[in-house]
Amino acid sequence: MSETKDRHAVNVSGRLVDRIDSEIGKHRGVIVVGYFFTAGLSVLSIALLFVRTFSGLEDAWILSIGGDIFCLLVCSMLYLSCLLAREREGAYLILFTLLLTITAMALFLDELTWLVQGVEKYRIHNLIINAFYYANGAVLMYMFWRYVTYALDMDGKLLRVVDSILGLMLIPHIIACFVNIFYPLYFSVDEHGVYSRGEHYLESQIYLMLCIISVVIALVVSKAPRRQKIIASSFVLIPILSYAVTANVFGISVNYSCCMVAIVLIYGVLFADRSNSIAMTERDLALATRIQADMLPNVFPAFPERDEFDVYASMNPAKEVGGDFYDFFFIDENHLGIVMADVSGKGVPAALFMMISMTLIKNNALSGKRPAEVLEDTNNQICANNKEEMFVTAWFGILDIKSGKLTAANAGHEFPMVKSPDGPFEVYKDKHGFVIGGMEGMKYKEYELNLEPGSTLFLYTDGVPEATDSQNELFGVDRAVDALNEDPNRTPEQLLKAVDEAVAEFVGPAPQFDDLTMLCIRFNGEK
């Protein structure tokens, strides 16, 4: 018995891990840059504080600066956790890290505003820093809106309209923030370098509040799970309360620290929910992979007590579970049923359809029907209840292991390849019938091949000829034939490995888009 009984499940699990690592790798560079940026801001903020010294800083200012530095350090730690976490959704991760970067910038600018406050020689710096501070705050609130709505998978026409309005309003608001460098609209800095709020300060907060209120309304009308809506809404109240407290209080600026707290809390809850959901999905996929692997013959040699033939087969699904399938089984003592099939679609739906098709073909074959009748009856049974309009291409043959006579029928499947005892592999262009599940009442043509001792039959799905490299060139049937004919007298297992290696070498780093399934049987005859 082969030591690779569970090779299929193990290979799929390995590819799942590789796919996750690859997805993380796409964004790792961005996260690394963000980590060093926020870490650099943290170090710089501490250095500037000690260069400036505490002289002239009021207690409330020191409290605000301390909160800013602490939250900057939290940003750095969150970036580090993103590097270590196995987050699957790249877009969600990038949106979160972008929000972290903008928040870190807001915290750093907030610290700078207090460090230059009341320093006459830094009057112009004070104006520019506060202009950037106000503008960055607006960008932060807009990104906060985008983050929450995306994280909770909120969508809808109204939501898209609100997002467009907020995006359009952001531009004039940013322009108004920079107008303050030349004209005291939201704030002013006198000749002594002292910052003070302008008479239109509250108007500067309107855009920020609109973003937060939009988040709350979106949460209420969204179809997100109730638990997530309640938790996210309660966390969004944190920045609302901070703005309400500090709107008429000068000397303490905790708005962006509170935003940071809300972001962390929402991320923590949603990340935990997503991690649990992903873990359950992975367990289900792993179970489905094992079930599918067990459905297919995967112990080789398959019939060690029979010397009349040697058979070997393999399936490498493009996803964790696939729609291709093969099968071989004894119908009676002298007749071996052989199946190679390909279900339309990918993933779990295709795998379910595959199991149904495989079962029907085998049951019809075991009832003593001829290959054409097996395909006809299987087609009618599937068409009787095929609301999803899926279909399967299939090649089915019955081999008389005493005489070598092979009777087969083809339902829209790939041409088989046949090798005579002393010749090379050649494509045998049999007559195709219509796919199974496409139309009820279809008829299929049978044909016969007389295999002499030493003859070999190679069956495969379209994943072999349609394997595509990075230049979108197909592997093709000719390359498969060439791979087989490098040494056509190899064992069935060695022949399959040769084709698999040829496909892998041809495709290179390009992703696998289709299941790769092959079966090879050598007729030895009676000994």
**pLDDT by residue (tens digit) across 421-453?**
999 999 999 999 999 998 999 999 999 999 999
Look up residue 168 and give its amino acid: L
Confidence band (pLDDT; 50, 70, 90) for 200? confident
Q: Which two tokens stand for residue 520?
A: 């090879």
Listed range (4-13, 59-68, 405-414) with the worst mean pLDDT: 4-13
- DSSP class of residue 120? G
**pLDDT at res. 5:** 39
d(CA 171, CA 178): 11
Is pLDDT at 395 greater than 50 in this prediction? yes
What average pLDDT does range 179-201 have in this prediction?
88
Q: Which two tokens stand for residue 131?
A: 């202009």
pLDDT digits (tens, 9 = 90+) for 12-29: 334 433 443 444 445 567
Confidence band (pLDDT; 50, 70, 90) for 419? very high
Confidence band (pLDDT; 50, 70, 90) for 491? very high
What average pLDDT does range 37-48 have in this prediction?
90
**pLDDT at res. 282:** 60
Average pLDDT, the chain: 82
d(CA 337, CA 351): 21
Between 185 and 58, the more confident residue is: 185
d(CA 374, CA 409): 9
Distance of CA 320 to the CA centre of its chain: 12
270 Cβ contact partners less than 8 Å away, ≥ 6 residues apart: 151, 152, 228, 232
Listed range (176-185, 324-333, 346-355) with the worst mean pLDDT: 346-355
d(CA 346, CA 139): 41
Could you tell me where the beta strands, DSSP code E, fall in 232-368? 309-316, 324-332, 335-343
**pLDDT at res. 291:** 64
**pLDDT at res. 280:** 59
Of 404, 419, 275, the residue nearest 336 (C-alpha):
404
**pLDDT at res. 11:** 42
Task: Give residue 136's region: left, alpha or beta (phi > 0; psi -120 to 50).
Answer: alpha
Listed range (76-85, 362-371, 410-419, 489-498) with the worst mean pLDDT: 76-85
**pLDDT at res. 350:** 75
**pLDDT at res. 320:** 53
**pLDDT at res. 77:** 82
How many angstroms separate the Cα of 324 from the Cα of each of 286, 339, 353, 384, 450? 17, 11, 10, 22, 27
Look up residue 193 and give its amino acid: G
Between 349 and 306, the more confident residue is: 306
What average pLDDT does range 353-376 have in this prediction?
93
Highest mean pLDDT among 158-172, 230-244, 306-320, 442-456: 442-456
d(CA 140, CA 100): 9
**pLDDT at res. 71:** 83
Is pLDDT at 30 greater than 50 in this prediction? yes
Phi then psi for residue 277, to 5 deg, are -65, -45
List, in sequence order, the alpha helices (H) in 89-200: 90-115, 123-151, 157-179
What average pLDDT does range 244-248 have in this prediction?
59
How many angstroms separate the Cα of 446 from the Cα of each of 364, 379, 410, 432? 16, 15, 8, 10
**Cβ distance 69 to 49 under 8 Å?**
yes
SS3 state of residue 385: coil
281 Cβ contact partners less than 8 Å away, ≥ 6 residues apart: none
Distance of CA 125 to the CA centre of its chain: 46
Is pLDDT at 10 greater than 90 in this prediction? no
Confidence band (pLDDT; 50, 70, 90) for 355? confident
Is pLDDT at 236 greater than 80 in this prediction? no
d(CA 112, CA 122): 11
pLDDT digits (tens, 9 = 90+) for 249-303: 555 566 667 776 777 666 666 655 555 555 555 665 666 666 666 678 888 898 9
CB-based burial, 401-416: b 16+ in 10 Å, e otherwise? beebebbbbbbbbbbb
d(CA 19, CA 317): 13
Number of C-alpha atoms within 13 angstroms, CB side, residue 404? 17
Is pLDDT at 176 greater than 70 in this prediction? yes
Q: What is the DSSP string of 406-462?
A: EEEEEESPPPPEEE-TTS-EEE--PPB-PPBTSSTT----EEEEEPPTTEEEEEE-T
Q: Which two tokens stand for residue 162?
A: 């609100």
Q: Which two tokens stand for residue 79?
A: 């970036």
**pLDDT at res. 521:** 97
Is pLDDT at 156 greater than 80 in this prediction? no
Cis preceding linkage at 301, omega within 30: yes
What average pLDDT does range 194-221 have in this prediction?
83
d(CA 455, CA 449): 11
SS3 state of residue 325: strand
**pLDDT at res. 17:** 38
**pLDDT at res. 461:** 92
Listed range (76-85, 104-113, 263-272) with the worst mean pLDDT: 263-272
**Cβ distance 390 to 343 under 8 Å?**
yes
Between 501 and 320, the more confident residue is: 501
How many angstroms separate the Cα of 303 from the Cα of each of 339, 406, 492, 524? 17, 19, 14, 13
Between 337 and 148, the more confident residue is: 337
List, in sequence order, the alpha helices (H) in 339-392: 347-366, 371-383
Of 361, 292, 363, 290, the residue nearest 323 (C-alpha):
292
- DSSP class of residue 116? S
Confidence band (pLDDT; 50, 70, 90) for 234? low
d(CA 442, CA 7): 37
Highest mean pLDDT among 26-35, 337-346, 466-475, 490-499: 490-499
Q: Which two tokens stand for residue 157?
A: 């026409």
User: Which residue is listed with tokens 């000749």?
Assistant: 191
Confidence band (pLDDT; 50, 70, 90) for 201? confident
**pLDDT at res. 417:** 97
**For residue 450, what are the β-bridge partners?**
405
**pLDDT at res. 404:** 95
Of 270, 168, 178, 189, the residue nearest 225 (C-alpha):
270
